[in-house]
Structure 1
Amino acid sequence: MERVDCVVIGAGVIGLAIAREMALQGRETILLERENAFGTVSSARNSEVIHAGIYYPKDSLKAKLCVAGNHLLYEYCRTHQVATRPYGKLIVANDETQIHDLQAILFKAQNNEVPGIKMISGEEANILEPNLQCVAAILSTTTGIVDSHGYMLSLLGGFEDAGGMIAYQSPLLKAIPIGVNAEGGFELEIGGVDGMSLQTKLLINCAGMSAPAVARKIEGLNTENVPKAYFAKGNYFSLSGKSPFTHLIYPIPEPGGLGVHFTLDMGGQAKFGPDVEWLDIQAEEEVDYTVDPRRGEGFYEAVRHYWPQLKDGALQPDYSGIRAKIVPPNAPAGDFCFNGPHDHGLQGLYNLYGFESPGLTASLAIAMHLEGQIKSSL
């Protein structure tokens, strides 16, 4: 039976970044992906925003890894010819009652040592964006957009150049620990057309919203160490006609998300979203990605708080994605969860749970953080 140093499960943006890091560290690494291409699930269904690290609690992993990841991602894209657009971002207070919320957001950002951020008046915001209605705003100059597919393609190229191998249509069926507390690694049973078995010393579960389901396929792992998955759908609506803004525009955040915000893609096409639609389902297979046109009514209402000139009929249902949450509705936002040997007792096993936004921005920093955990456990 073939034996390798490391197997990474899931070829989304975080799985690709981690697999590349493992290979660059000299480990013989295989990346398993159940689909027939990389980055086709959550990584293909987001806003492509490069976040600054504004909203997250001080000293949280999301805060630390987003701030570090923002710099790493821009630098990586610059040196690897991956396109970015540093549009900048305005977080807006629509009336005086939201000024306190805006100040609290700025305080969080300052605690997180986010660079290029400041409070501006409504008049200053209108100089930047004449079509914007607000009484004050936070300006973030390090927020932007990345060509996420180009970025993932580059990560895959770096992984393969370092000797890594990716196996598509290869879902994990079962992982069996070898020896006491998996001291001998894991034996994997992998599905697909041909199927295969292999052994690995390191097993890293980066399966996104399916990470809890994948973890339950690992024998010997106490189910108390596997969180329940919650599915929060985010719907997007595209705007017909010319974009009214040149910056990304965000309202005050709402429970489960950042509010219905305005973003631009790499070509300057405008869209709004995502909203937050909690799904009453138990597994990823039950997800319906269809965008209900009726949700547009809520979009018009939300957007007109900061862009009153939005015309009826200007929004069309576009696409949707699912946030990989491990906390239920109305609970405080969860942090990234690196569930490693010190948590569950199985040597060489790392389950990554709750890696929603800002996972894209933080991907390179996430890979480096995990490498540090692996080295410290050896």
Structure 2
Amino acid sequence: MFDAEITIIGAGVVGLAIAEKLSQHISQVFVVEKHPTFGQETSSRNSEVIHAGIYYVKNSLKAKLCVEGRDLLYDFCDRYELPYNRCGKLIVATSEEEIPALEQVEQKALSNGVTDLYWMTQEEIKAMEPNIFAVKALFSPSTGVIDSYWYLKRLETNSINNGVQFAYSSVVTGIEKQTEGYQIDLNDADGHPFSFTSKRVINAAGLESFNIASMMGVNDEDLTIHFCKGEYFRIQPPKHKLLNRLVYPVPSKDALGIHVTIDMGGGVKLGPDVQYLDTNQYDYTLTPSRRKAFFESTRRFLPFLEEEDLIPEMAGIRPKTQTKDGPPRDFYIREESLRGLPGFVNLIGMESPGLTASLAIGNYVERLLNGQNDI
């Protein structure tokens, strides 16, 4: 007899989506989270974009789960009357030399099943967003933004209504495989050690996911988490009113580039940049001196912008398995029976598009637990 049927480590958006899904059919689901409440790390420190599924490697988990998750997320928001804005996104070329890169973006999107992109001329761009500069653009009508707090809150509420028990301010200190199931050791909210047993365990610990996996001997070098910081700068009023949609440059090898994101409150911010941290420290400090770099990287398509219009907004950290100079990496989502760990599911490297894909990830983990590896 186990204390829990399933224990989920981590109450970010991925852990919450998995809890909400599994608790629809399974009782005795526990969620363990080291913070006092949900979504305190990557899930609340991001652009809050609902991605269309444009940029990811064909047939990757990121591509498939993003496209599936996008539609599920819009439906979920409609069902529970959660705030979102399906505002669309312009991916812009500011010179003729950048157009081939846009054509590559279009082909990648089509290979991922994203079929609603369309080209816009300079005149059409001006009619849609008169204050930006671009010679040509791709428009993605299925891209939007969401209020991530209310989305996470609804996932938590649904999970609680389904009987999920949450242990906040609880830090996992060890996991040990038993003859059947697993023993989980933790320090509770009062700092007291506590142990319980769980038939199955799901590691959705985000930035700590590699450390949790390592407790069970899953410590492959290519699963190492690299902390990648991204800062944001806000466009001060009144110039924030000059933009109504997301505006992205052509992507680079490492990232989508510093882009324009609107939020549900009407604000506009630029970011994130890419800063691989030397050590995996939780460094959310803001660097006002980076303002010039943000200005220089966006002035090509935001001609109205002046450096003084920008103020530091926030910083987040991505849990990347991709190294600083390495190629893009896919999500690692795997039930670890082949490692002798039946019922143990690792989710590692859950960066963007994790928010968009979260409901699809919940479905996928359910299938993995049922012995189905298809997506």
> Once the two structures are superposed, what CA deviation does each residue of 1:212-255 show, in whole Å capped at 9, x if it has no partner?
0122223xx24337721111111000011132211100001123
Using the aligned pairs only, state the percent identity.
38
- Kindly provide the CA deviation profile for residues 276-308 of structure 1, in whole angstroms up to 9, marking residues without a partner as x: 111111x3xx22211111111111101101012
How does 1:96-175 map onto structure 2 within 5 Å?
96-175=96-175
Describe how 1:166-315 pairs up with structure 2 within 5 A.
166-179=166-179, 184-192=180-188, 193=190, 194-218=192-216, 221-224=217-220, 227-242=223-238, 243=240, 244-281=242-279, 283=280, 286-315=281-310
- Deviation string, structure 1 residues 12-62 (Cα, Å, up to 9, x no partner): 000000011111122310000001111111111001100000001111111
Return structure 1 stretches of 4+ with deviation > 4 angstroms. none
Paired residue for 1:332? 327
Aligned partners of 2:348 and 2:255: how far apart in 1?
Answer: 17
What aligned pairs does 1:44-59 form with structure 2 within 5 A after superposition? 44-59=44-59
- Tell me, yes or no, if structure 1 residue 361 matches structure 2 residue 361: no
State the Cα distance separating 1:344 from its structure 2 match.
2.2
Q: How many residues of Structure 1 are paired with residues of Structure 2 in the alignment?
A: 369
8 A Cα contact 2:2 2:199, kept in partner: no
Given that residues 304 and 310 in structure 1 are in contact (C-alpha distance below 8 angstroms), is that contact kept between their aligned partners in structure 2? yes
Aligned AA (1:362): A
Answer yes or no: is the 8 Å Cα contact 1:190–1:197 preserved in 2: yes
Distance (whole Å) between structure 2 residues aligned to residue 161 and residue 295 of structure 1 = 45
Distance 2:38 2:218 in 1: 30
Asked whether the 8 Å contact 2:58–2:108 carries over to 1, the reply is yes
Q: Deviations over 1:49-88 (max 9, x none)?
A: 0000000111111110000100000000100121111111
Which letter does structure 1 place at the counterpart of 2:350? F
* 1:212 and 1:226 in contact (8 A); partners too: no
Q: 1:73 matched to which residue of 2?
A: 73
If the length of structure 1 is used for normalisation, what is the TM-score? 0.95
The one-letter code of the counterpart of 2:347 is: L
Q: Which amino acid aligns with 2:211?
A: A
Q: Tell me how far apart the structure 2 counterparts of residues 287 and 144 of structure 1 sit (CA, whole Å).
A: 28
Shift of 1:154: 0.3
Larger displacement relative to structure 2 (226-235 or 202-211): 226-235
- Residues 225 and 343 of structure 1 are in contact (CA less than 8 Å); yes or no, is this contact kept in structure 2? no
**What secondary structure does 1:324 align onto?**
strand
Q: CA deviation at 1:340?
A: 2.0
Relative to structure 1, is the Cα distance of residues 255 and 278 closer, same or farther in structure 2, using a 3 angstrom cutoff?
A: farther
Shift in alpha-carbon separation, 1:43–1:139, aligned structure 2, 3 A: same
Where do 1:85-104 residues align within 5 Å? 85-104=85-104
Deviations 1:315-334 (A, max 9, x none): 00110001110120121111
Return the offset for 1:268: 1.0
8 A Cα contact 1:339 1:353, kept in partner: no
Unaligned runs of 5+ in 1: none
CA contact (8 A) 1:216 1:226 kept: no
Q: What is the alpha-carbon root mean square deviation over aligned residues?
A: 1.5
Counterpart AA for 1:177: K
Q: What is the CA distance between 1:171 and its match in structure 2?
A: 1.1
Deviation track 1:75-117 (CA, whole Å, cap 9, x = no partner) reads 0010012111111100001101110000000111111111431
Contact 2:33–2:171 under 8 Å retained in 1: yes
Which residue pairs with 1:40 in the alignment? 40
Could you tell me which runs of 5 or more consecutive residues in structure 2 were left unpaired when the two chains were aligned: none
Matched residues in 1 for 2:204 and 2:154: separation? Answer: 18
State the Cα distance separating 1:267 from its structure 2 match: 1.1
Report if aligned partners of 2:175, 2:185 keep a CA contact under 8 Å in 1.
yes
For residues 344 and 221 of structure 2, the distance between their equivalents in structure 1, rounded to whole angstroms, comes to 12
Q: How high is the TM-score relative to the length of structure 2?
A: 0.95
Change (3 A) 1:377 1:260: closer
Of 368, 371, 375 in structure 2, the residue corresponding to residue 376 of structure 1 is 371
